[in-house]
Structure 1
Amino acid sequence: MLATSTHQWFKSSYSGGSGTECVECTHTGDGALIRDSKNQNGSSVAVRREAWLAFTLAVRDGKMLQL
């Protein structure tokens, strides 16, 4: 899915400060789109609302898998 310019993209607060690890997200009617901020014209990943909510709650609560 290609991201359109009508979306209000924002950078993740978990992105690295060096500018090399930036992720941008935007909310849609069905969930969210995620893309690499260094490749804004590239493709994005669509995530359904339920999955996006589960992911963001897990990040907030510190329940993400540590690799």
Structure 2
Amino acid sequence: MTTPRNWQKSSFSGEGDGNDCLELASTPTTLHLRESDAPATVITTAPTPLAHLLDAVRRGTL
């Protein structure tokens, strides 16, 4: 797997270059998530399963 280069910091992470933020990178069919303080650990998923997970978290059914 090739790790993407264009990581974007979450808008919920605040300002500055702190090491406590979620970063996201994407390709046309894949999403990559990592924590800035552990950049070697990357979670890779597709948009639909991630959307289902986030929906379950929002509804409190997880």
TM-score (norm 2): 0.58
Distance 1:53 1:47 in 2: 10
CA distance in 1, matches of 2:2, 2:59: 28
Compute the TM-score of the two structures, normalised by the length of structure 1. 0.56
CA distance in 2, matches of 1:55, 1:24: 17
Paired residues, number? 58
2:33 equivalent to 1:34: yes
Flag the structure with higher strand content.
2
- For 1:2 and 1:38, how far apart are their aligned partners in 2? 20
For the Cα contact (< 8 Å) 2:33–2:43, is it kept in 1?
A: yes
Q: Which has the higher contact order (CA 8 A, sep 6+)?
A: 1
Share of identical aligned residues, percent?
Answer: 23
* Equivalent residue for 1:46, pick from 44, 47, 50: 44
Structure 2 unaligned runs (5+)?
A: none
Q: Deviations over 1:4-26 (max 9, x none)?
A: 43xx2100112244724211001
**Cα deviation, residue 28, structure 1:** 1.9
